[in-house]
Amino acid sequence: MIRLTTENTQKAIAKCKQLKPTVKFIKERIFAVQSANNERIYHVSFDVKNGEKFGKCECRASERGLVCYHLIAGATANI
Ligand SMILES: [Zn+2]
């Protein structure tokens, strides 16, 4: 999982606001985010350890350790 910080989420937050992807609640801490570019659905999951937030997405950016806008979309819904 990727640790979510103020720094590494900035770009993804901007992109998320721009694209406004659709988020569906699946279950506790797991969401399905509809891609803004195609029909793909990405599942994102979250965890909190020692007060720090962690997230994981199925897309390639996330596999490379980057925070994608899917994660932000899910995190916004994950309240
Ligand atoms: Zn993603």
Distance from Cα 50 to the centre of ligand 1, integer Å: 24
Provide the residue ranges of all domains of the chain, joining segments of one domain with +. Answer: 2-78
pLDDT of residue 37: 78
Q: How far is the CA of 77 from the centre of ligand 1 (A)?
A: 15
Ligand 1 centre distance from Cα of residue 40 (Å): 10
d(CA 12, CA 52): 18
51-79 pLDDT, tens digit each: 999 999 999 999 999 999 999 999 988 65
**How far is it, in rounded angstroms, from Cα 51 to Cα 42?**
25
The predicted structure's pLDDT at residue 36: 81
* DSSP 8-state symbol, 54: E
| pTM (predicted TM-score) | 0.91
What sign does the dihedral 54-60-66-72 (CA atoms) show? negative
Confidence of residue 39 (pLDDT cuts 50, 70, 90): confident
Which residues, chain by chain, have CB under 5 Å from ion ligand 1? 42, 57, 59, 62, 68, 70
How far away, in angstroms, is 15 Cα from ligand 1 center? 12
Whether the pLDDT of residue 27 is over 70: the answer is yes
